[in-house]
Amino acid sequence: MRFLHTSDWHLGRTLHNVDLLGAQRAVLRQIVDLTAEPPDGIAVDAVVIAGDVYDRAVPPVEAVTLFDETLAALSQLTTVIVTSGNHDSAVRLGFGSALFTDRLHIRAELSSIGSPVLVAGVAFYPIPYLDPDVARVSLAAVDGEPLERSHQAVMAAAVNRIRDDLATRPAGTRAVAVAHAFVVGGAASESERSIVVGGVDHIAAGTFAGLDYVALGHLHGAQRATGDPETTLRYSGSPLRYSFSERQQAKSVTLVDVPTVGPVSTTTVALRQPREMADLTGSLQDLTTQPRFEAHVEDWVRVTVTDRARPEQMFDRIKSRFPHALQVFHAPEGAGGVERNSVERVELSGRELGADFIAYVTRVPADETELDLFESAYALAAERSG
């Protein structure tokens, strides 16, 4: 059988205060079209979405509507399996799931772990995002002590439930886990929210040993994780670029073929980006007149102006040539550091704002705990004001 693996849609996200809903709709339409007409003509038996459907726990109405439209389109074509990520609210994402048809399965409750969705003879085991502070109690043995407060402990317990269920099934049953986690060795991007608990955010790849494929979410770059040679662990990556650290990433989805026996095979299918991203550096004169920059006038760009003296109306003059410029910095050639003007400062993320504010007030760099608290408070304030 074949399924399509995707994750990290982050519906409702903005990029330096730019609404991404139109761009997200464009890439999700490509996923629907790919499901309807695979490039090699082999039917897609299921679509698996490995968490972070939304960008925040209380998503905007427009994001919910887009998800609803996309699910409706996909479930008319094939079986859809969705699980929650660290950005999602499990309660909101899973609302009404008991009423869904056999073509749509949203698993957001920890009690569902170990209960598979069977598609074309393959057992899919969705694992909702495991917050260690909650899962260490929910996944503990009956009348037992809570598990260790770590991602490793709770994921190991979840996979043990999967193995227990597999032991009751016919020999040779192919097994696919769907998990949202940071597996050791994965390459992260700037746009992924920290999931550190107790100073550790990762789990060992060997945790999934014995399974045939693990459809991973959380990291935004498509990549394979190294673990048990008999188990394929893969991140599909996000379908859209969500930070300048991702500008070199080729965004895609993964088609996974699971034969009755033998190794699983994967095919990466590229997704066209509605707008490219670029990092541009040069004098204001060169940036606004040189033909070599012409290819980027419709891109989302981050611009560093290198004039020795700060040019007059620098931001406006850059925007006149690059209307989709998201960040503009002044870094005189040969000087250290980057000067951010007041317009750009508004465009900083909550974590960046916290780092600047704490460093300004205390005269020392912020530590990770302070930044985590500031980022949480900033996100809560944004939700309430939005």
The domain total for the chain is 2
Q: Is there a contact between 265 and 42 (Cβ–Cβ < 8 Å)?
A: no
Mean pLDDT score, 248-254: 96
Mean pLDDT score, 270-287: 96
3-state secondary structure the chain: CEEEEECCCCECCEECCEECHHHHHHHHHHHHHHHHCCCCCCCCCEEEEECCCECCCCCCHHHHHHHHHHHHHHHCCCEEEEECCCCCCHHHHCCCHHHCCCCEEEECCHHHCCCCEEECCEEEEECCCCCHHHHHHHCCCCCCCCCCCCHHHHHHHHHHHHHHHHCCCCCCCEEEEEEECEECCCCCCCCCCCCCECCECEECHHHHCCCCEEEEECCCCCEEECCCCCCEEEECCCCCCCCHHHCCCCCEEEEEECCCCCCCEEEEEECCCCCCEEEEEECHHHHHHCHHHHHHCCCEEEEEECCCCCCCCHHHHHHHHCCCEEEEEECCCCCCCCEECHHHHHCCCHHHHHHHHHHHHHCCCCCHHHHHHHHHHHHHHHHHHC
**Pair (212, 292) in one structural domain:** no
If 0-12 CB within 10 Å is exposed, 13-18 middle and 19+ buried, where does residue 267 land?
middle
In this prediction, residue 100 carries a pLDDT of 64
Which of 253, 270, 287 terminates a domain? The answer is 270
Angle between helices 350-362 and 368-385 (to 10 degrees): 130
* CA 12 – CA 20 distance, rounded (Å): 7
Mean pLDDT score, 216-232: 89
**Pair (247, 360) in one structural domain:** no
Span 27-77, pLDDT tens digits: 999 999 999 999 999 999 999 999 999 998 889 999 999 999 999 999 999
**Pair (224, 311) in one structural domain:** no
* CA 242 – CA 9 distance, rounded (Å): 10
In this prediction, residue 61 carries a pLDDT of 92
Rounded to 5°, the CA angle 93-94-98 comes to 155
Cα of 106 vs its chain's centroid, Å: 17
Mean pLDDT score, 264-276: 97
In this prediction, residue 197 carries a pLDDT of 45
pLDDT reading at 8 higher than 90:
yes
**Pair (90, 213) in one structural domain:** yes
pLDDT reading at 226 higher than 60:
yes
**Pair (255, 311) in one structural domain:** no
Angle between helices 21-36 and 61-75 (to 10 degrees): 10
Mean pLDDT score, 141-152: 88
* CA 169 – CA 40 distance, rounded (Å): 32
**Pair (223, 288) in one structural domain:** no
**Pair (300, 171) in one structural domain:** no
pLDDT reading at 115 higher than 80:
yes
If 0-12 CB within 10 Å is exposed, 13-18 middle and 19+ buried, where does residue 51 land?
buried
Span 71-102, pLDDT tens digits: 999 999 999 999 999 888 766 786 655 556 68
Q: Is there a contact between 267 and 234 (Cβ–Cβ < 8 Å)?
A: no
In this prediction, residue 171 carries a pLDDT of 93
In this prediction, residue 192 carries a pLDDT of 56
Residues 6+ positions from 289 with CB-CB distance below 8 Å: none
Q: Is there a contact between 158 and 181 (Cβ–Cβ < 8 Å)?
A: no
In this prediction, residue 352 carries a pLDDT of 72
**Pair (137, 59) in one structural domain:** yes
In this prediction, residue 376 carries a pLDDT of 82
**Pair (100, 158) in one structural domain:** yes
Span 173-187, pLDDT tens digits: 999 999 999 898 666
In this prediction, residue 343 carries a pLDDT of 39
In this prediction, residue 97 carries a pLDDT of 56
Residues 6+ positions from 384 with CB-CB distance below 8 Å: none
**Pair (63, 191) in one structural domain:** yes
Residues 6+ positions from 115 with CB-CB distance below 8 Å: 125, 165
Mean pLDDT score, 147-165: 95
Which of 270, 304, 325 terminates a domain? The answer is 270
**Pair (58, 148) in one structural domain:** yes
Sign of CA dihedral 33, 39, 44, 49: negative
Q: Which structural domain, as residue segments, surrounds residue 331? A: 277-385
Span 350-384, pLDDT tens digits: 777 777 777 666 656 778 788 888 888 887 777 66
* CA 159 – CA 125 distance, rounded (Å): 9
In this prediction, residue 346 carries a pLDDT of 38
Which of 270, 296, 316 terminates a domain? The answer is 270
Most confident of 123-127, 180-184, 196-200, 229-233: 123-127
**Pair (260, 292) in one structural domain:** no
pLDDT reading at 336 higher than 70:
no
In this prediction, residue 202 carries a pLDDT of 82
Q: Is there a contact between 321 and 297 (Cβ–Cβ < 8 Å)?
A: yes
Nearest residue to 213 (alpha-carbon basis) of 238, 230, 198, 201: 230
Residues 6+ positions from 275 with CB-CB distance below 8 Å: 23, 298, 299, 300, 324
Q: Is there a contact between 252 and 265 (Cβ–Cβ < 8 Å)?
A: no
Span 193-214, pLDDT tens digits: 655 544 446 899 999 999 999 9
In this prediction, residue 199 carries a pLDDT of 44
pTM: 0.82
In this prediction, residue 370 carries a pLDDT of 83
Tell me which of 248 and 95 has the higher pLDDT: 248
Query: What is the CATH classification number for the domain harbouring 9?
Result: 3.60.21.10
- Report the chain's mean pLDDT, rounded to a whole number: 88
